[in-house]
Structure 1
Amino acid sequence: MSTGSQSRPWVLVLYYSRHGKTSEMAKLIARGVEQVTGMEARLRTVPEISANTEASAPPIPESGALYCSAGDLRHCAGLVLGSPTRFGNMAAPLKYFLDSTSSLWLNGALANKPAGVFTSSSSMHGGQETTLLTMALPLIHHGMVFAGIPYQEAALSQTRSGGTPYGASHWSGMHNDQDISAEEKALCIAQGKRIAQLALALQNIGKGGAA
């Protein structure tokens, strides 16, 4: 997975994770991205925030993915955005980051790039689909091309936990003790692969080539 090289186009897998399950999903999605020849995956996260400070986290994370920069987002070929469910919506740190991207919206920096979303929740019906749909809204405002997961992916019909046509999802259990299932893993990988394939196709169209 890319640590910052600009030698090849990349799909930005941008997420916030509190207990680690969304981070696990992000790595699986990145694996799917890198199954596509010529495409890199760039894993990035966002700082914690609190009611008292804009960012309660250190400037550089002690471990795990780096914090996302404006350049990571501006120059990506595609985006997959992930967050745990918070009352049927994305978590505040990710929303805070997206709210700071007005300059990219004004410049149309993300227009015509493919985007997808993913989430996890502690309860089986904990607002996964509303979280995915509300996460899609700011991406659509940016002019991105939203892509879900088609039912041609067999795991979408076989799953007994997470997985939706709007994006990959995971049921973590009330104590965060549910492993990511085989079907959930397959859908994460499939989603990453699909966004990467779309990114290459849309770049080719933008250059005047055939899709």
Structure 2
Amino acid sequence: MKILVLFYSTYGHIYEMAKAEAEGAQSVPGTEVILRRVPETLSPEILERMQATEAQKKFEHIPVADVQDLADADAIIFGTPTRFGNMSAQMKTFLDATGQLWARHSLVGKVGAVFTSTNTQHGGQESTILSFMITLLHHGMIIAGLPYTFDGQTTMDEIVGGSPYGASTIVRGDNSHMPSPIELDGARYQGRYVAQLTAKLRS
């Protein structure tokens, strides 16, 4: 059983969540997890102005995905930061190149899940995940969210990301806040949940 965790990250927050998703999926026996990132579309000059160059060195060792990687996987977990309540342009550009997969029905029946990040508590986490799911449904994928059996998303002790639609993290406006323990636990839970669903479908 092969699960692909495909992400785009600017400052490393989504990368940290992607690793947690991978850990959760890997905890299910018989699971092979592949971690991939989508190609960067911003120039080095713009990334430097955004003060993102140093942060991206942390995950530049992760191989860049090819569209075929999606077809080869039994399930796919997508991670993207929020851009005005939508997925990032980098992720959208990559998904726009999956037309041949759609034509061949390559992703029909595969489990798909989404996680995200925002700068603020109400920065569009839910709208990003829900709008992302439209693409997955067009590909015929089976949607997996983050069930309320993950108790962390109902905590009132602190402000955290996470919703029934998927795991998420709040990073603050200056990008200084890395995913909290609860948010990482949510990502691990979602990764494990996807792997468990995939195993049941394959059996």
CA distance in 1, matches of 2:154, 2:33: 27
Q: Which residue of 2 aligns with 1:184?
A: 183
Equivalences for 1:131-146 in 2 at 5 Å?
131-146=128-143
CA distance in 2, matches of 1:103, 1:201: 28
Q: Deviations over 1:11-61 (max 9, x none)?
A: 11001000000000000000000000000111111111159xxxxxxxxx9
Query: What amino acid sits opposite 1:83 in the alignment?
Result: T
Instruction: Name which of 116, 124, 146 aligns with 1:127.
Output: 124
Report if aligned partners of 2:121, 2:159 keep a CA contact under 8 Å in 1: no
* 1:40 equivalent in alignment to 2:32: yes
Q: Which residue of 1 aligns with 2:104?
A: 107
Give the 3-state SS of the residue equivalent to 1:18 in structure 2. coil
* 1:203 equivalent in alignment to 2:202: yes
Identity of matched residues, %: 41
Task: Report 1 or 2 for greater relative contact order, CA contacts < 8 Å, sequence distance ≥ 6.
Answer: 2
Give the 3-state SS of the residue equivalent to 1:67 in structure 2. coil
* 1:97 equivalent in alignment to 2:91: no
Give the 3-state SS of the residue equivalent to 1:66 in structure 2. coil
Where structure 2 has 5 or more consecutive residues not aligned to the other structure, the ranges are: 44-56
Compute the displacement of 1:173 (Å).
0.7
Report if aligned partners of 2:85, 2:128 keep a CA contact under 8 Å in 1: yes
Give the 3-state SS of the residue equivalent to 2:90 in structure 1. helix
CA distance in 1, matches of 2:60, 2:42: 20
Query: What amino acid sits opposite 1:146 in the alignment?
Result: I
Give the 3-state SS of the residue equivalent to 1:151 in structure 2. coil
CA distance in 2, matches of 1:70, 1:151: 32
Count of residues in Structure 1 that have an aligned counterpart in Structure 2: 187
Query: What amino acid sits opposite 2:65 in the alignment?
Result: C
TM-score normalised by length of structure 2: 0.88
Superposition misfits of 4+ residues, deviation over 6 angstroms = none
Compute the displacement of 1:181 (Å).
1.4
Q: Deviations over 1:106-160 (max 9, x none)?
A: 1111111111100001111111110011111101110000011111111111162
CA distance in 2, matches of 1:157, 1:112: 30
Farther off after superposition, 165-174 or 152-161: 152-161
* 1:155 equivalent in alignment to 2:147: no
Q: Which residue of 1 aligns with 2:19?
A: 27
Compute the displacement of 1:71 (Å).
2.4
Instruction: Name which of 95, 110, 114 aligns with 1:117.
Output: 114
Report if aligned partners of 2:21, 2:191 keep a CA contact under 8 Å in 1: yes
Q: Which has the higher helix share?
A: 2
CA distance in 2, matches of 1:64, 1:85: 23
CA distance in 1, matches of 2:13, 2:191: 16
